[in-house]
Amino acid sequence: MSFRTSGPFPPLILDDVRGAQKMLSGVARTTGMEGSRHLSSLVGAPVHLKCENLQRTGSFKLRGACVRIAGLSPVERAAGVVAASAGNHAQGVALASSLLGVRSTVFMPVGAPLPKVAATREYGAEVRLQGHVVDETLAAAQEYAEQTGAVFIHPFDHPDIIAGQGTVGLEILEQCPEVRTVVVGIGGGGLAAGIAVAVKALRPDVKVVGVQAAGAAAFPPSLSAGHPVALDSVQTMADGIKVGRPGDLTFPLVQELVDEVRTVSEDELSSALLLCLERAKMVVEPAGASPVAALLSDPKAFRGPVVAVLSGGNVDPLLMQRILTHGMVAAGRYLSLRLRLTDRPGALAAMLATLSVADANVLDIQHVRTDPRLGLTEAEVELHLETKGPEHCEEVAAALRTAGYLVRS
């Protein structure tokens, strides 16, 4: 069975994905599949997590990069390869090149997280920091390719890349033959297209659902228009799927083979990342958590058994800290409020005692006496509390009101 692609390339077929799987034997890991009791209870059917966050280099990108570079001619290999990426693709190209004995140069944005820059260098690439946004970095890499003859390795829009990523789909069918729905994040579309090629060729009854961040959702308008449409801007914490235009090759494959494309909010991404960490004990980046976010947002919409692809786990520790805080807020685990009390000795201690009885943990407190809006004997307190969830937030606020405090959110 073959599926159409546009441009000068032949149709992508299942044999291409199977050939990629043979090439990757002993190079890429066959990543594990973990069940999730919490998600299963929400969906009402078994939910399994395909753990590409545990792949070498921390994401699925090694698969496509290896297949693409292995397919170069001796002359092309001698010229080396070049790529542009803020993280996962950079590391995949760097390691694939080292394993295949090919020189690699990787352009990364000036503000790329230091751990990702360091990892890319350690995998053997020459790293050049250029451009403040990915488009500038991409232009610099393409200019370098034109000047030096190095082969540009596109992050998603090449048949070899798509075939390599499609090996994830073959593994899903082998590990979970009873699967009815596969949920996968979509940026440029390489992973979703590859998985869909493999899954639909072997199991056309299986539904493939793509997930995009709402602030970088280029596929819905593109599918409506019938051709790739570029977004004016993209804003999302999910760098791995922060792509403003579908690929010319990936778009027709997604259009033909992916049954549905959903979008998730930043709050939903944060909550999904937090769930992966707390319940599944998995470190997952926001893009990798996007399928989980889709399951959390509308669990009854998915026919089980479901496989959610955790596509990557490369997240900067500082970003992780901010995301976890955001996720705690989205999950109702933080409560911020203001209240007024009489400015007298012991008043603050009495208020804190009320919070102690309500079992709320004080993270931060600001005690203001000098605001001109306050009365002569008044003080205002701004509180940031850690709670056990939305119901506990209501209980804490109710306890303060019962104690006589005027509570403002």
Residue of 36, 50, 61, 207 marked active site: 61
| Cα–Cα distances in angstroms (integers) from residue 313 to residues 116, 238, 273, 316, in the given order | 12, 11, 10, 10
CA distance 390 to 335: 9
Alpha-carbon distance of 68 to 249, in angstroms, equals: 15
Closest CA to 54 of 36, 31, 24: 31
Query: Is 300 part of the annotated catalytic residue set?
Result: no
Nearest-angstrom CA–CA distance, 257 and 335: 44
Q: Which residues contact 93 (CB under 8 A, 6 or more apart)?
A: 61, 65, 69, 81, 83, 85, 104, 106, 125, 153
Is the CA virtual torsion 345, 347, 352, 353 positive or negative?
positive
Q: Following DSSP, what letter does each residue of 324-365 receive, concatenated?
A: HHHHHHHTT-EEEEEEEEE-STTHHHHHHHHHHHTTPEEEEE
Closest CA to 66 of 54, 75, 78, 57: 57
Catalytic residue list contains 61: yes
Active-site positions?
61, 311
